[in-house]
Amino acid sequence: MDLHIRDTVIRPGGDGNYYMTGSTGDDIWRFNDGVELWRSPDLQHWDYLGVVWRTMTDGTWEKTPQDLHGKNVVTNWAPEFHYISKRNYFVCLSMAPGGISLLKSTTGKPGGPYVNCVPGGGKLRGWIDATLFEDEDGQVYFVNGGAGNISRMNDDMSSFAET
């Protein structure tokens, strides 16, 4: 594959396929379209599913330009795709230079579309590198900042049950 992608993450979905996403675009330091997603049944052959969440049309707070070293930027970094058992498909993404969103598929399908699942389209605390961890007991934890912040999510994944 000839891709311009960094912060690449591959995760299994709930349908037997693997899903890949990452920071994409020609200049991820300044702007990208949103979250792109690829699917593979075998980690060898990949199908492009497209941009499943567009910053400027699907975003809430995310589409407001932020100052990064004296430049206005609208770009997401290190999006991660997750299937959370018996719940749905989610994407964690970091907006440069700070702020984190948790997106949820509105259809229950990997290809979305996705919306911010925090009430009011809210911005989650933390700076970058967000991920989700589902424990064996079904509890889901939101982790960011190099594992410096770990918070248990509530059952509908819209906020923290405890921090």
What is the predicted pLDDT for the residue at 31?
A: 77
Residue 44 lies in a domain: yes
Residue 115 lies in a domain: yes
What is the predicted pLDDT for the residue at 156?
A: 82
What is the predicted pLDDT for the residue at 126?
A: 64
What is the predicted pLDDT for the residue at 159?
A: 76
What is the predicted pLDDT for the residue at 121?
A: 67
Q: How many domains does the chain have?
A: 1
Residue 118 lies in a domain: yes
Residue 160 lies in a domain: no
Residue 57 lies in a domain: yes
Q: Give me the residues of the chain with pLDDT under 70, please.
A: 1, 119-122, 124-127, 146-147, 163
What range defines the domain where residue 77 resides?
Answer: 5-130
Residue 113 lies in a domain: yes
CATH number at residue 26: 2.115.10.20
The β-bridge partners of 50 are: 37
CA–CA dist 41, 20 (Å, integer):
11
Residue 153 lies in a domain: no
CA–CA dist 151, 141 (Å, integer):
5
What is the predicted pLDDT for the residue at 163?
A: 59
Residue 161 lies in a domain: no
What is the predicted pLDDT for the residue at 146?
A: 65
What is the predicted pLDDT for the residue at 62?
A: 87
Sign of CA dihedral 96, 61, 27, 129: positive
